[in-house]
Amino acid sequence: MGAQTRESLAAVTDRAQSVTGVTQDAVSGLFQAGRAIAAYPSLLSALADPGHDPADRSTLLDGAMGSLPAASRQLLDHVVELSWSAPADLLAGIEHLGVRVSAGLADVDTLASELLQASRVIRGHAELQLALSDKRATTESKVSIVEAIFSKKVDPASLAVIAHVVAQPRGRRASDALQEAAELVLDHDGRGLAEVQVAQALSAAQQKDVGALLQKKFGRDHYLDVVMTPEVIGGARIRVGDLVMDGSVSTQLNEMRLQLAG
């Protein structure tokens, strides 16, 4: 990721915190605009070209998306007026803004939970993962698949995010892209995401202990995504980003076997 994109994503994060008076329909319009822009590479390149000043980019948008609702256009302008290291990064900016604004409009825990559930559903079905990752499939077909599966199972805000991220994964597996979206939602709320693999459900006291451990280690609260994983036998395996803290009984037994074998 280039320096310009890092700076612009930071600006998007700040702007998402200050956005007021918008509705989920405005966010859905922003997502639709992002998918439309991606379908026209020359338009995407022009909008992301730092050689074009903001007025030129606004004129381009007027010609291409004159029918876009004003609230959605205002959100889109927040992204287009920034500088991006590569055209595809502008699409990342649209995703970041849309997901973060959605987090400000919805119940954060519900939104994060439903994104993570959708990620697991897709990851657990190889054919579905392939269908949603197929570069030959149209954006519309991917959105239709997502709506058919999730429209009656998740809130409208969650469905809008799921549909957009899956339809425009930007080189990621659909399940991974949804997990990243959940991380954005929680980050907007000032929290991290921790996947906690356990053999049986955690008690309230155990959840409090895990939360305190993560607060001490990372300096902020974490949402606990508790996943039942019988093979851990006991204890817990906790993953935060690329860091894994493995206190599972299965790992301890395996280490004991290795020591005895040595």
Q: Which helix (H) or strand (E) holds 214?
A: helix 204-218
Task: Note whether 114 and 235 are same-domain residues.
Answer: no
Residue 210's identity, in one-letter code, is V
pLDDT value for 253: 58
User: Considering the chain, what is the average pLDDT of its residues?
Assistant: 91
Task: Note whether 65 and 179 are same-domain residues.
Answer: yes
Task: Note whether 94 and 219 are same-domain residues.
Answer: no
Q: Which domain holds residue 246?
A: 192-261
Residues 6+ apart with CB under 8 A from 172: 180
pLDDT value for 199: 87
CA distance 170 to 191: 25
Encode pLDDT of 86-126 as tens digits: 999 999 999 999 999 999 999 999 999 999 999 999 999 99
229 dihedral zone (left: phi>0; alpha: psi -120 to 50; beta):
beta
Residues 6+ apart with CB under 8 A from 131: 137, 142, 145
Is 90 in contact with 47 (CB distance < 8 Å)? Answer: yes
Structural domain ending residue among the three candidates 158, 188, 218: 188
Encode pLDDT of 61-83 as tens digits: 888 888 899 999 999 999 999 99
Low-confidence spans in the chain with pLDDT less than 50: none
Total domains, the chain: 2
Task: Note whether 173 and 225 are same-domain residues.
Answer: no
Task: Note whether 117 and 52 are same-domain residues.
Answer: yes
Structural domain ending residue among the three candidates 135, 154, 188: 188
User: What percentage of the chain reaches a pLDDT higher than 70?
Assistant: 95
Task: Note whether 117 and 237 are same-domain residues.
Answer: no
Task: Note whether 198 and 240 are same-domain residues.
Answer: yes
Task: Note whether 85 and 12 are same-domain residues.
Answer: yes
